[in-house]
A and B are shown apart, each in its own frame.
Chain A
Amino acid sequence: MEQSFIYEARGQVLLIHMPKELDHHNCRNLKYETDLLMAENYISRVVFDFSKTEFMDSSGIGILINRYKQMAANGGKVALYGVNDRVQRILTIGGITRLMKHYNTREEALIG
């Protein structure tokens, strides 16, 4: 099976590299995979890397909101970086802009 997401656990930070096309098809495994990684590592911060993402629909919004809820329930934070204009428009319409901080670079997003 093709891999949609690439994960990097860096201490308590989980870095998730988003796929080029972020749709329902490519989002299918994220919940299972992140639940597993978050249970194994004491994750206090999730960072989404959108630098490769060219397409996104409301399926992407769904998984972001759910990760936000999961993290907020335990006092954790969610951040993102590498967002292009198109993805930014989708995030704004989806109400994500209010929930998680956007950074320009990976380094800033990791530190917060």
Chain B
Amino acid sequence: MERFRMEIESLSKNEELARVVTAVFMSRLDPTLEELDDVKTAVSEAVTNAVIHGYQEGEGIIYMELQAEEQELTVLVRDTGVGIRDVKKAMEPMYTTDKSGERSGMGFSFMEAFMDQVLVESEPGRGTLVTMKKKIGR
């Protein structure tokens, strides 16, 4: 298995950095353009959740790990922020805690649409770990 780890500050400008680094790592699996775009979108969603929800747009560190094993890519995005009390509810389409009206509540739906597997583990006050997997080059 090949692994890559990074720690990024919880800043909205790092959402792009996270997805670009993921795309570079993933390129060793020889993905199609569509697979690249799918994973970039899913990573963007997970990191955005950490920035907005996990750390409430405040300070924090987002831990990312990328793994490539045979033709499967695994992306782990972890924060040590506020956590999610009811993960099942949070994953319902259109569910959002945002009050501004600017958030669609589709983050988890997008992760599920673009990856083969999405696992969310969270504990209030401790943080959230999102694990996403996708087979590349089918």
Q: Taking beta carbons and an 8 Å cutoff, which residues of A are in contact with B? A: 21, 23-25, 27-28, 30-31, 55-59, 61-63, 65-66, 69, 86, 90, 93-94
Contacts and interface: CB of A to CB of B under 8 A. Distances in A.
Interface residues of B, number: 24
Interface in B1-28: 12-13, 15-16, 19
Contacts of B13: 25
Contact of B48 (A23, A30, A31, A56): A23
Interface stretch (B65-73, B103-111, B116-124, B125-133): B103-111
Interface in B45-87: 45, 48, 51-52
Given A21-B16, A93-B110, A93-B113, A61 B104 contact: yes
* Chain B contact residues, majority secondary structure: helix
Contacts of A62: 102-106
A62 B104 CA distance: 4
B112 to A, nearest CB: 10
Interface of B: 12-13, 15-16, 19, 37, 40-41, 44-45, 48, 51-52, 100-107, 109-110, 113
Given A24-B12, A28-B12, A93-B113, A69 B48 contact: no
Give the residue among A23, A31, A65 with the most B Cβ atoms within 10 A. Answer: A23
A24 B12 CA distance: 7
